[in-house]
Structure 1
């Protein structure tokens, strides 16, 4: 078995800032012998439902309400991170 592990972190250990109140760590473990195409298709479908077709998700800008997430509410940004 070949296992791939993807790790991403976002946030700041510094003083509380209302623009970025969270610090998160994401881990993805993938057994390379398992096909995840269905899961990726579902993920992309959910992003399209949120008007984010062909979108690459980066947690930092979502949490800090930056760039393309600037006009989104916290609830809308949470939906992206909970897909």
Structure 2
């Protein structure tokens, strides 16, 4: 699967290695913002916090969905996520 997807992208004139680097960096950014929105959400308290908590939850889910959409594309092109979070 990775070979076919990679060949298709290369035929379109895209440098797959550069694309993978960008996709992996973007996945790291999405995962990071998901993490921070999670922390923000659990720390919002009080009456005013409830409205903001809903906004934070929406943003959190959106970032998680972006991350989950990127990961299969990375692997389809023959890339992979770092095994260690510190390398991410």
Given the two structures, how large is their TM-score scaled by the length of structure 1?
0.31
Structure with higher strand content: 1
By percentage of residues, which structure has more helix? 2
- Bigger Cα Rg: 2
Q: Normalization by structure 2: what TM-score?
A: 0.30
